[in-house]
């Protein structure tokens, strides 16, 4: 029984020497040695020289190693026949393939042909003293396939190319770019108030009016006017004035007996000019709106620059996040491979009996933990890649979404310290949000100027200078006309003449001949003619119309303008405080960022030194592990 109990100890000691001892010691291990009564049991987890002595029973002394057998092939205990109770003695480590029988007399060692070892598809006979023990396979690498990404679709991308794609395809940049264009169109629309406007107004007017006076030209007067008026109006962009260049034409027909001309053609050509002298002279509503819109256009441009800077920063951050995620994934793959290699070595020692199964469980736990970390790193790669794709791809259904991005740029390290003063000066000059606040302050200055101007009274100068022309057809032509005309029932002279002629007729006398007189139309010759004569008279500059006047409007209290002016002054104070607050915020951001960059620079230098020291330490630990001086 002592032979069967001592053989596991011999196997453990010999395998430990084979793994950790130099080549010279291997030859020595092949010679027969006499095992003392209390051999020192070696722990595979301890370096050589740190063994602790353990008392072995007299019955558990090992047998002599066969000199012809290779090192590490000591004969194990024979297995007990089926149905025989076995137990492991106290103080002797038990293995999953060895068991000590209760009664040595009942042990029947198996023959050589009863025990075979299976390797692949071939089976070779083994010594009956060696039980069958197959090493567990190394756990495979986990599946690193990412959802929605095909491995055959690779997008090679540099940082500059990513920035270019973002500037062309980023939807947020496109929105900001269209905001600038929209403000440009709004500005052009406001400036359109100064465009000249041509007006043409043709009109036909027919009036029939009853007259209450005998001088009205008849009991009922019918008048028909055909009008064709045209004008060009324009607002001045300086001074607040406006002018109207007009050309009016009219043709009138009437049955009024007092009119000497029928029809009558009239025309007028002139200009009307209005100039504010107090209110609206230096600034009016139109000029205020245009100036404010120009500032808003600059604000939209500042917003576009700020958003572009943010997107470029996000692209750079996402690009380097992807680079880091890919490198972290590769590092974790390497770490997992190291754990798999450690599992292979540990499994070999466990199978050989040089290590306890507990060490295998520890390595398996480490492999599982590193697999979990690798899966999380793969998820981080997908997140970083999707964040970068969101910044550089326009359409949500673009084929680039299924591509696997491969960064080509390597991070560069600049050891130059940050110049804080230069960074602060550049931030105060170029920060878009600070420029936007300053433009808002300019808008408030425009409001102050406008509302202050609106508190003044309105005094406008108005003037009109016009040329006129007139012509027509005379109602009566030159010649002779009877002295008495008209209806005897209405005209007394005609009634008297009619009575005289009746009396002479009764007396058989001839009627009285109505006397005639020479008549003229009384119209100057330069007024007789049609519309061409009217134009000739117009451009003869003999008739004109000049009007000069003032329009004065004085409000008694003008509370609207005063309240608007007070509100603009309050906004001025608010904006000044906002600008100071923004400047302080930018100061803090620049200082913190500069300190962060400087700290990162120093950490990189320290990390380089730590990496070099860690490499030296790793090399030393590897040598110690190779010679058996270290177990990890």
What is the pLDDT at residue 593?
A: 92
Beta bridge partners of 117: 124
Q: Indicate if the alpha-carbon torsion angle 595, 596, 602, 605 is positive or negative.
A: negative
pLDDT band at 484 (very low <50, low <70, confident <90, very high): confident
Across the range 282-307, mean pLDDT stands at 95
Reduced to 3 states, what is the DSSP secondary structure of residue 561?
helix
Q: 421-476 pLDDT, tens per residue?
A: 999 999 988 899 999 999 999 999 999 999 999 999 999 999 999 999 999 888 77
- Specify the pTM: 0.65
CB 121 within 8 Å of CB 136: no
User: Taking the CA of residue 398 as centre, how many other CA atoms within 13 Å lie in the half-sphere pointing to its CB?
Assistant: 14
pLDDT band at 214 (very low <50, low <70, confident <90, very high): low
> What does the CA dihedral 617, 618, 622, 625 come to, rounded to 10 degrees?
70
DSSP 8-class letter at 55: -
Cα 380 to Cα 149, 163, 204, 322, 502, distances in angstroms: 14, 22, 82, 8, 131
Portion of the chain with pLDDT greater than 90, in percent: 52
Rounded Cα distance between 366 and 372, Å, is: 10
CB 571 within 8 Å of CB 447: yes
Q: 355-382 pLDDT, tens per residue?
A: 888 988 999 999 999 999 999 999 999 9
Q: 10-49 pLDDT, tens per residue?
A: 333 333 333 333 333 333 333 333 333 343 444 433 444 4
pLDDT band at 117 (very low <50, low <70, confident <90, very high): very low
Q: 128-147 pLDDT, tens per residue?
A: 444 545 778 888 888 888 99
Beta bridge partners of 201: 229
What is the pLDDT at residue 213?
A: 63
> What does the CA dihedral 537, 540, 541, 543 come to, rounded to 10 degrees?
-30
Q: 554-608 pLDDT, tens per residue?
A: 988 889 999 999 999 999 999 999 999 999 999 999 999 999 999 999 999 999 9
CB 322 within 8 Å of CB 388: yes
Rounded Cα distance between 580 and 578, Å, is: 5
pLDDT at 77 over 70: no
Report the alpha-carbon angle 337-343-349, nearest 5: 145
Cα 524 to Cα 149, 250, 520, 542, distances in angstroms: 100, 20, 11, 14
DSSP character string of 68-94: TSPTT----PPPPPTT--B-PPTTS--
Cα 305 to Cα 162, 216, 308, 544, distances in angstroms: 18, 77, 5, 60
Q: Indicate if the alpha-carbon torsion angle 24, 25, 29, 34 is positive or negative.
A: positive
DSSP character string of 238-305: STT-EEEEEEEEEEEEE--TT-SEEEEEEEEEEEEEEEESSTTTS--HHHHHHHHHHHHHHHHHHHHH
Nearest alpha-carbon partner for 268 in 287, 245, 289: 245
Nearest alpha-carbon partner for 454 in 532, 610, 561, 535: 561
Low-confidence winner among 15-24, 209-218, 251-260, 576-585 (lowest mean pLDDT): 15-24
Across the range 88-96, mean pLDDT stands at 36
What is the pLDDT at residue 504?
A: 81
Name the helix (H) or strand (E) containing 363: helix 357-392
How many of the other CB atoms lie within 10 Å of CB of 630?
Answer: 13
How do beta strands 544-553 and 458-474 pair? antiparallel
Phi and psi, residue 328, nearest 5°: -65, -40
Rounded Cα distance between 452 and 558, Å, is: 11
How do beta strands 404-407 and 154-157 pair? parallel
Across the chain, what does the average pLDDT equal?
Answer: 79
Which one has a higher pLDDT value, 319 or 72?
319
Q: 330-358 pLDDT, tens per residue?
A: 999 999 999 999 899 889 988 888 888 89
How many of the other CB atoms lie within 10 Å of CB of 448?
Answer: 16
pLDDT at 218 over 70: no
Portion of the chain with pLDDT greater than 70, in percent: 76
Taking each helix axis from N to C end, the angle separating 420-430 and 432-454, rounded to the nearest 10 degrees, works out to 40
Across the range 486-510, mean pLDDT stands at 80
Q: What is the largest CA-CA distance in the chain?
A: 200
Nearest alpha-carbon partner for 266 in 238, 316, 229: 229
CB 280 within 8 Å of CB 240: yes
Nearest alpha-carbon partner for 5 in 45, 35, 32: 35
Question: Residue 77 corresponds to which tokens in the numbers above?
Answer: 């205990």
CB 449 within 8 Å of CB 255: no
Report the alpha-carbon angle 547-552-557, nearest 5: 170
Across the range 159-180, mean pLDDT stands at 95
pLDDT band at 69 (very low <50, low <70, confident <90, very high): very low
What is the pLDDT at residue 78?
A: 39
What is the pLDDT at residue 96?
A: 38
Question: Residue 453 corresponds to which tokens in the numbers above?
Answer: 């101007």
Domain segments of the chain as ranges: 2-125, 413-431+556-632
Reduced to 3 states, what is the DSSP secondary structure of residue 501?
helix
Which one has a higher pLDDT value, 403 or 212?
403
pLDDT at 6 over 70: no
What is the pLDDT at residue 257?
A: 74
Task: Output 150-157 pairs: Cβ under 8 A, ≥24 positions apart.
Answer: 150/402, 150/403, 150/404, 151/404, 153/399, 153/402, 153/403, 153/404, 154/403, 154/404, 154/405, 154/406, 155/400, 155/403, 155/404, 155/405, 155/406, 156/406, 156/408, 157/319, 157/405, 157/406, 157/407, 157/408
């Amino acid at each position: 029984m002592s032979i069967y109990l001592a053989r596991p100890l011999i196997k453990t000691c010999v395998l430990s020497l084979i793994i950790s001892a130099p080549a010279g010691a291997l030859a020595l291990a092949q010679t027969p040695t006499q095992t003392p009564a209390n051999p020192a049991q070696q722990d595979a987890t301890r370096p050589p020289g740190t063994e602790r002595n353990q008392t072995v029973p007299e019955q558990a002394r090992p047998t002599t190693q066969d000199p012809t057998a290779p090192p590490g092939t000591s004969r194990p205990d024979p297995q007990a026949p089926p149905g025989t109770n076995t137990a492991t003695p106290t103080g002797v480590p038990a293995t999953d393939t060895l068991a000590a029988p209760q009664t040595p007399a009942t042990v029947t060692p198996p023959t050589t042909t009863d025990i075979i070892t299976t390797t692949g598809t071939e089976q070779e006979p083994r010594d009956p003293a060696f039980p069958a023990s197959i090493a567990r396979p190394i756990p495979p690498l986990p599946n690193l396939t990412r959802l929605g990404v095909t491995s055959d679709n690779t997008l090679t991308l540099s940082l500059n190319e990513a920035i270019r794609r973002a500037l062309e395809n980023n939807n947020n940049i496109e929105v900001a770019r269209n905001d600038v264009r929209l403000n440009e169109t709004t500005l052009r629309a406001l400036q359109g108030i100064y465009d000249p406007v041509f007006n043409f107004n043709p009109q036909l007017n027919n009036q029939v009016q009853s007259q209450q006076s005998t001088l009205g030209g008849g009991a009922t007067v019918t008048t028909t006017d055909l009008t064709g008026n045209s004008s060009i109006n324009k607002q001045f962009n300086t001074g607040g004035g406006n002018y109207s260049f007009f050309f009016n034409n009219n043709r009138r027909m009437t049955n009024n007996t007092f009119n000497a001309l029928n029809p009558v053609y009239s025309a007028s050509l002139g200009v009307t000019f209005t100039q504010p002298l107090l209110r609206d002279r230096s600034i009016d509503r139109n000029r205020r709106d245009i100036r404010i819109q120009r500032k808003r256009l600059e604000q939209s441009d500042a917003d576009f620059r700020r958003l572009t800077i943010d997107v470029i920063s996000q692209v750079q951050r996402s690009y380097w996040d992807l680079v880091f995620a890919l490198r972290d994934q590769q590092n974790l793959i390497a770490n997992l491979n190291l754990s798999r290699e450690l599992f292979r070595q540990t499994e070999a020692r466990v199978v050989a009996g040089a290590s306890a199964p507990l060490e295998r469980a520890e390595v398996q736990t480490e492999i599982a933990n590193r697999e979990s970390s690798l899966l999380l790193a793969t998820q981080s790669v997908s997140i970083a890649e999707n964040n970068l794709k969101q910044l550089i791809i326009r359409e949500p259904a673009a084929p680039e979404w299924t591509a696997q991005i491969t960064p080509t740029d390597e991070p560069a390290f600049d050891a130059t310290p940050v110049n804080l003063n230069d960074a602060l000066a550049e931030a105060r000059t170029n920060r878009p949000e600070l420029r936007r606040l300053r433009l808002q302050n300019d808008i408030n200055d425009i409001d102050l100027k406008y509302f202050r101007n609106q508190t003044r009274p309105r005094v406008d100068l108005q003037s009109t200078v016009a040329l006129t022309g007139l012509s027509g057809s005379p109602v009566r032509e030159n010649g002779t006309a009877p002295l008495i005309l008209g209806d005897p029932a209405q005209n007394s002279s005609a009634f008297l003449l009619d009575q005289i002629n009746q009396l002479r007729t009764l007396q058989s006398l001839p009627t009285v001949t109505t006397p005639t007189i020479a008549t003229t139309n009384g119209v100057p010759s330069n007024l007789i003619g049609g519309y061409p004569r009217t134009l000739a008279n117009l451009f003869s500059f003999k008739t004109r119309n000049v009007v000069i006047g003032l329009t004065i409007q004085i409000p008694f209290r003008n509370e609207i303008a005063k309240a608007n002016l007070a509100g603009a002054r309050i906004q001025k104070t608010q904006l000044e405080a906002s600008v100071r607050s923004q400047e302080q915020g930018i100061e803090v951001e620049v200082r913190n960022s500069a300190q962060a960059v400087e700290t990162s620079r120093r950490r990189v230098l320290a990390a380089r030194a730590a990496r070099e020291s860690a490499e030296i330490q790793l090399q030393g630990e590897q040598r110690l592990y190779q010679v058996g001086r270290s177990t990890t």
